[in-house]
Structure 1
Amino acid sequence: MQFFVEKKSVVRKIWGKSDTVLFIFAGAAAEFALNKAVDWLYFTGKLPSDPLGRLFSTVGYARKIVFSETVDAHASIDVMRQIHTAVEKNRGAEIPDWAYRDVLFMLIHYSISAYEVLEEKLNEEEKEEVYNVFYRVGVRMGLKELPTNYIEWLPVRQAHLMQDLRESEYTTDLFKQYKKHLGAIRFKVLIEGQKLVVPDRVKELLLFNDFSLLTPILPIYKMSRVIKMDWLLKNILLPSNYKKQINELDVHSS
């Protein structure tokens, strides 16, 4: 039985804990709102009506791929591509290849940054491991111009951040929707969490400062995980509509 990601891989550690995945989700939520191709997600109407659900869907697909056998992972990737192809057909235009790469690059970046915020720094070999998993996802989706390794990817990622992000009416609307669906307190937690994981370019465009109110709280939260009390904090902070989905993220697939 061959898995898409080896059982001992650090990628499984990253995607096997709900809090790490939630930080990935938080970072992607910020960067999604700035992407020049975000209008494609507005085209279906799903993003503004249920922004959290739409982002959970993207994260859910990624997580399913990470814990699947290779055959099943390939099938999931193929379905994901088919869904986007159907949207393209309905709109009568093609999603730019760079937009697909941007989403893939988000998953790479936030996998690394979320884990490093909550756990420990990754070494170069582990970062390469993360990159390779999502590189293979991109290759399966038929994406072009993907760097073959992590080191080559870094300047390409930076170029994408400079070229493909901008603040727009979609940015403003999406953050309004996040606040509407989360409530004021949870929305504030989201913003403070985003500050910890997003790259400087995203901070600059969203006018984030470098200090996060979560920084002094993180050691307490990490201790709560040790004594198995983190569920209490999650229940307080997370939207009840998504608690089932969030709890399922802690189920480690074999």
Structure 2
Amino acid sequence: MDYFVEKKSVVRKIWGKSDTVLFIFAGASAEFALNKAVDWLYFTGKLPSDPLGRLFSTVGYARRIVFSSIDEANYAIDTMRKIHTTVEQNRGTTIPDWAYRDVLFMLIHYSISAYELLEEKLSDAEKEEVYNVFYRVGSRMGLKELPPTYIEWLPVRNMHLTENLQKSDYSADLFKQYKKHLGAMRFKVLIEGQKLVVPDRVKELLQFSDFSLLAPVVPVYKISRLMKMDWLLKNILLPSDYKDQINELDVQPGKNDGHLIKTAVAKDLS
């Protein structure tokens, strides 16, 4: 069977561990809130009512593509495009192409920054590998103006960060919802985690300091993983309502999970 991402790819290493994926989730949750097109995420009302659930759905969907066969991954990508087209028809306007690219760019950036925070620095070739996977996702979706290589993508990413982010009433409300659903202590942990992976432009708009209280904790956490004690920290810091989803992040979808792709994509992106 041909897979969308090769079994030995660093992309599978990145998306195959719950802690790395949770930092991807943390960074994306900050940048999502600042995107000028975030009103689209409010259109159905599902994001503000369950922001953590929606972000877990998006992350879970991306993981399914990473661990699927080419045919299954393409089906999932095609279905995602169709669902967004339906939302556009219901609203009577089109989601800007740059907004689709922004989401894709988040997955690229936070895949790299989260892995480098918790594991090790990626080589230029590995970064290119990460970019290529999501480039193929974007190409399948029909996105335009995607740079062909990681190096050519970097200035485009910076341009998007400058032009497409702003702090708005939606931003404030979304962070308010994060705090409501997480609780004050876990919300503080989220903020400190975001500081470790978001780019400077996001820090500037959210008025984040460069120092994170989690910075000295990360080395300790790495040791706890070696001692198989990381589950204890996760149980303390993460909401019990989402523990099943979090535990599933450590389980790579199997080769017989193709039938789950069709139902999961429709549910997660509706």
TM-score interval, smaller chain = over 0.9
Partner deviation per Cα, 1:233-254 (whole Å, 9 max, x = no partner):
0011111111001100001345
- Give 1:3 shift: 0.2
Say whether residues 1:245 and 2:223 are aligned partners.
no
Matched with 1:169 is 169
Matched with 1:127 is 127
- Cα separation, 1, equivalents of 2:103 and 2:252: 24
Matched with 1:179 is 179
What does 1:24-63 correspond to in 2, within 5 Å?
Answer: 24-63=24-63
- Cα separation, 2, equivalents of 1:245 and 1:75: 23
Contact 2:64 2:253 in 1 (8 A): no
Matched with 2:262 is none
What does 1:113-152 correspond to in 2, within 5 Å?
Answer: 113-152=113-152
- Kindly report structure 1 stretches of 4+ aligned residues shifted beyond 2 Å: none
Matched with 1:19 is 19
Give the CA RMSD over aligned residues.
Answer: 0.6
What does 1:88-103 correspond to in 2, within 5 Å?
Answer: 88-103=88-103
- Cα separation, 2, equivalents of 1:61 and 1:167: 27
- Give 1:162 shift: 0.2
- Cα separation, 2, equivalents of 1:74 and 1:202: 32
- Cα separation, 2, equivalents of 1:87 and 1:240: 31
- Cα separation, 2, equivalents of 1:180 and 1:84: 28
SS where residue 166 of structure 1 aligns?
Answer: coil
Q: Which runs of 5+ in 2 are unaligned?
A: 255-270
Amino acid paired to 2:25: F
- Give 1:60 shift: 1.0
Same amino acid, percent of matched pairs: 81
- Cα separation, 1, equivalents of 2:79 and 2:31: 24
TM-score, structure 2 normalization: 0.93
Matched with 1:215 is 215
Aligned length: 254
- Give 1:57 shift: 1.2
- Of stretches 49-58 and 173-182 in structure 1, the one that deviates more from structure 2 is 49-58
Matched with 2:263 is none
- Give 1:106 shift: 0.1
- Give 1:124 shift: 0.3
- Cα separation, 1, equivalents of 2:146 and 2:55: 23
SS where residue 205 of structure 1 aligns?
Answer: helix
- Cα separation, 2, equivalents of 1:232 and 1:205: 34
Partner deviation per Cα, 1:70-121 (whole Å, 9 max, x = no partner):
0000011111111111110100000000000000000000000000000000
Q: Which runs of 5+ in 1 are unaligned?
A: none
Matched with 1:157 is 157
